[in-house]
Amino acid sequence: MFLKKCCFFLPLNVGCMIIGGILTGFHVGELITHNGDSVFIRMTSTKWWAPVILCPILVFGTLSSILLIYAASKRKRGYVLLWLITYVFILGLYIILAIVQLAKSKPVPVILTVQVIIIVGLIYSLLIVYGYYKYLSSVESDDSI
């Protein structure tokens, strides 16, 4: 098995529910509170492409995180896979946006720190949810025998 516990003491399903709750809160907060700035895109009102990138990230991130909470509580492997696929794309976009922002505008160290914390947190979240997905795969294959 890839990972057996979240944070060394929580069961994987509880860890997935916590991850889903935190990321739902993050995306909803980002949707509500950004007024021209986002964590990964500064001065969004002056960039025509910013809503094209931000809206799908925030909407799909919110919906898939809510589905992750449901999937972890009901042991639905397909919804866990949907979350994994969605967040691999979101992580890739966040990494690209952070690199572009670092190269173009030299962000404030606090913003850069927040971006790195979010990216590292997403990588850890992907590992935990992938471990839960593998666990559900092994449980389903054991049940079918």
145 belongs to a structural domain: no
Q: Is residue 110 one of the residues assigned to a domain?
A: yes
Q: For the segment 119-142, what is each residue's pLDDT rounded down to a tens digit?
A: 999 999 999 999 889 888 887 655
Residue 2 belongs to a domain: no
Give residue 59's pLDDT band: very low, low, confident or very high (50, 70, 90): confident
| 144 belongs to a structural domain | no
* 1 in a structural domain: no
DSSP 25-91: HHHHHHHHH-SS--SSSSSGGG-TTHHHHHHHHHHHHHHHHHHHHHHHHHT-HHHHHHHHHHHHHHH
Domain count, the chain: 1
Q: pLDDT tens-digit profile of 8-52?
A: 677 888 888 999 999 999 888 887 876 666 666 655 556 666 667
- The whole-chain average pLDDT of the chain stands at 81
Domain hosting 118: range is 12-137
pLDDT of residue 84: 94
**Is 142 inside any structural domain?**
no
The whole-model pTM stands at 0.82
